[in-house]
Amino acid sequence: MEFFEVVAKRYSHKASFDYDKKIPEEDLRKIVEAGMAAPSAGNSQSPEFIIITDEKILERISIITQNAILWTAPAMIAVVTRPRVREVLDITTECLICDFAVATENMLLAATALGYCCGWMDGPFTDPQVREKVEELLGIPDDRMLILVVPIGYPLQEGPRREKKPFEQRASWNRYAVERG
Amino acid sequence: MEFFEVVAKRYSHKASFDYDKKIPEEDLRKIVEAGMAAPSAGNSQSPEFIIITDEKILERISIITQNAILWTAPAMIAVVTRPRVREVLDITTECLICDFAVATENMLLAATALGYCCGWMDGPFTDPQVREKVEELLGIPDDRMLILVVPIGYPLQEGPRREKKPFEQRASWNRYAVERG
């Protein structure tokens, strides 16, 4: 799909997926490879990925996070980073956050380019108790931290797209002159 | 350009640009619009953008940052966010960091899709003295913070691409089993 068409099509899918329509492994791999191609500070390539298609594991994650939408996703990609994130902010931490954010964005766009819907789900994992249970389930070692999952699939119903502010309320030329909305 | 071709072509251009090859305003606007189309936490659309094409301002930024490569870029996009970033880390701050990171990634990909080279330059602005001087130059108000600039242009010479780790050193299926390189 043409790049600017992908950018226009991508949205955060927060409605149900069609669980019965599975995703070929080669597509999931292609999505993760797009994530790996994202830039990272000092080329550290800090984000790591777990592609989840096992029904039992998908079910367990939905139960632990008590999330009805995750329950319907036929696949998820878990994004993992180093442990200092969410504990202290220094430039290194900021870099690690940027690293997993841009890798995730590439995957959201890649999933959209392949015709899927997807979302960025980090909310449940800001609760350390939820996060640690899923980390244990996925065998994530102590020196790594689960940040978010990207559920991917075909939509059962298409979700709403959120409105974006006009250009002039977010951008200006040569000098800060953003019209605050 | 096709999406996966864009992802494969994008790299962090750290060599000189061809200053004499200007970028049409409509391309710069299209790049910023791609940044605006990126997701943001709670649809806050927190990142703001200043598109810089004025020769005097470009020159001043190069002088303040003492950066020889910025000197050669015919255009830059400055990315601005809320002020608490880099001061404290809480979930809100993490969200703001993710917001500007994914918006920037969309712009890097969009610039690549239009045939330009670009980079993510945040290093100079981690020094508060440098940052504040450029913020003053660009008229950025006290409740905003300059995070980075994206220099954009045609390359005078193509820069090197950095090697990426193989898939198995960053990803695994259903359980964390990344081969640590």
**Taking CB atoms and an 8 Å limit, are B177 and A139 in contact across chains?**
yes
Structural domains of chain B ordered from first start: 3-169 (3.40.109.10)
pTM (2 decimals)?
A: 0.96
Given a contact cutoff of 8 angstroms between Cβ atoms, the answer to whether B44 and B50 are in contact is no
| Nearest Cβ partner for A97 among B50, B94, B176 | B94
Is A141 in CB contact (< 8 Å) with chain B?
yes
Is A98 in CB contact (< 8 Å) with chain B?
yes
Question: What is the complex's ipTM, to 2 decimals?
Answer: 0.94
What phi, psi does A143 have (nearest 5°)?
-90, 15
> Six-digit token pair at B36?
């605006």
> Six-digit token pair at B10?
């994008």
> Which site among A102, A132, A162 would you substitute to test the B interface, given the most B Cβ atoms closer than 10 Å to its Cβ?
A102
| Nearest Cβ partner for A170 among B4, B36, B138 | B36
Residue of B nearest to A81 (CA): B170
Tens-digit pLDDT profile for chain A (181 aa)?
A: 999 999 999 999 999 999 999 999 999 999 999 999 999 999 999 999 999 999 999 999 999 999 988 889 999 999 999 887 777 767 788 899 999 999 999 999 999 999 999 999 999 999 999 999 999 999 999 999 999 999 999 999 878 888 999 999 999 999 999 987 6
**Taking CB atoms and an 8 Å limit, are A50 and B174 in contact across chains?**
yes
